[in-house]
Structure 1
Amino acid sequence: MPAAPYDIAKQELLEAALMHVAFDGWSDATFKAAVRDSGMDIGLAKSVCPRGAIDLAIAFHKRGDEAMIAAVKAADLTEMKFRQKVAFALRTRFELIMDKEAVQRGTTLFALPHLAADGAKLIWGTADAIWTVLGDTSEDVNWYTKRATLSGVYASTVLYWLGDDSTDTQATWDFIDRRIENVMQFEKVKAQMNSNPALSKLMAGPNWLMSQIKAPTQFAPPTDLPGMWRGDQS
């Protein structure tokens, strides 16, 4: 599906903005410079990015997620264990970043109290993108715990990566492997607890409550009701 004019305009602004982010951050000065350099009408620019450079910083992050998804889909992961697939997706997300300074500036921006929710949403979105592209089919509370856990791994890796000056970023890749191993150990403990009859009996009530939690996709409205558009049927 071709990109909408709205998205094209935002990407044009983003490209123009990246030339200035290293000097002015994701700021109003950067946004004004991007509008000037792109030759875009200021009215159109503000309609595309109502919050100015904040919207461009969000677009920059999401563009990284999209590039990661495309790369993972194109890769042959058949010989990898699942933990290796997760590590591969995380590593790919960082390898595709062409502007480390833009990430640094974005990390600073979304650390501001009034933008912390936006930052958390972006991190969650990256974790969700990774699990989804790897074929996660969770429909219960695991949908949330997987993304919450990976969000923590991704967030800590960003901070580590920003300060990493090792050869070929090897220290960051080792850091990812250690964090994924920690996650796998946690999942192993969970599995052992669930297989223990005494603990299973003790946790019967909480486990029942947890089983009632459904993934967001489980709440999506049906698409086969009369009068509902189901997209291109050709």
Structure 2
Amino acid sequence: MAETDPKIQLLDAALAHVPFDGWSETTLREAARDAGLDAAMVRIACPRGAVDLAVAYHEAGDQAMLRRLEETDLSGMRFRDRVAFAVRARLEAVEDKELVRRGMALFALPPYAGDGARLIWNTCDHIWTALGDTSRDINWYTKRATLSGVYSSTVLYWLGDDSPGHAASWDFLDRRIDNVMQFEKFKAQARDNKLVSGLMAGPLAFLSRIKAPDAPSPTGMPGRWSGPK
């Protein structure tokens, strides 16, 4: 989006109001006033109201993370450290924790819970894609689902962390990723075990029909089934 995009103008103006009024219609009205945009332009930029601003804020953070990943030489890192760096880069893109805290309160509401889940999923998809993930089968989903759990729990810990430089949060993140790596090791061992492989032959054949999406879903949610309709 160009810098003159009214949604960007609204978002920039809203950031000063969110800590006090949340991602609310009050914030949207004040942002419109500060940006000098009329009601018609606001409706075009944010047809669902303030929730569209909250979504735009999260997506802007994802783009800031991706820029940092592009600018950083990750070649000397272990893969698990690359994942940790990406999650940390995403959180360090936040200017004010209160903006995230208010966003979590909004996306906890039933009408917007789907938006919140989609945003977390997309953040983790961005991370895996940026780190070179090429999986196209069930692993495409399990990687993103697992990282979504790591990311969500780390955000909650980080919001309450007042340690210098958020050191406690990064330690927490490392522990969660270590847990994931242990699970991945267990999965690899299970695949190599002939008895387990034999018992799992049926379920694995079923799961082999699940494929990564070839294109963005019109619903915004991932998924494709290659079996009979």
User: Scaled by the length of structure 2, what TM-score is found?
Assistant: 0.92
1:39-188 pair list within 5 angstroms: 39-188=36-185
> C-alpha distance in 1, partners of 2:171/2:116?
25
Aligned residues of 1:26 and 1:106 also touching (Cα < 8 A): yes
Alignment equivalent of 1:205, drawn from 202, 205, 215: 202
Letter in 2 for 1:55: D
Q: Does the C-alpha gap of structure 1 residues 153 and 39 become closer, same or farther in structure 2, counting only changes over 3 Å?
A: same
Q: Does the C-alpha gap of structure 1 residues 208 and 57 become closer, same or farther in structure 2, counting only changes over 3 Å?
A: same
Post-superposition Cα deviations, 1:44-102, rounded to whole Å, max 9, x if no partner, equal 11111011111000000000000001100110000111100000000111111112111
Runs of 4+, deviation exceeding 4 Å: none
> C-alpha distance in 1, partners of 2:215/2:68?
28
Task: Give how far 1:218 is off.
Answer: 7.5
> Is 1:35 paired with 2:32?
yes
Task: Give how far 1:170 is off.
Answer: 0.2
> C-alpha distance in 2, partners of 1:97/1:202?
47
> What residue is the counterpart of 1:17 in the other structure?
14
> C-alpha distance in 1, partners of 2:95/2:61?
9
1:170 alignment partner, SS class: helix
Q: Which runs of 5+ in 1 are unaligned?
A: 221-234
2:100 alignment partner, SS class: helix
1:217 alignment partner, SS class: coil
Aligned residues of 1:139 and 1:214 also touching (Cα < 8 A): yes
> C-alpha distance in 2, partners of 1:108/1:116?
10
Letter in 2 for 1:40: L
Give the number of equivalent residue pairs: 217
> C-alpha distance in 2, partners of 1:162/1:150?
18
Alignment equivalent of 2:186, drawn from 181, 184, 189: 189
Post-superposition Cα deviations, 1:126-155, rounded to whole Å, max 9, x if no partner, equal 110100111110110000000000001111
Letter in 2 for 1:133: A
> What residue is the counterpart of 2:225 in the other structure?
none
Instruction: State, as a whole percentage, how many aligned pairs show the same letter.
Output: 59
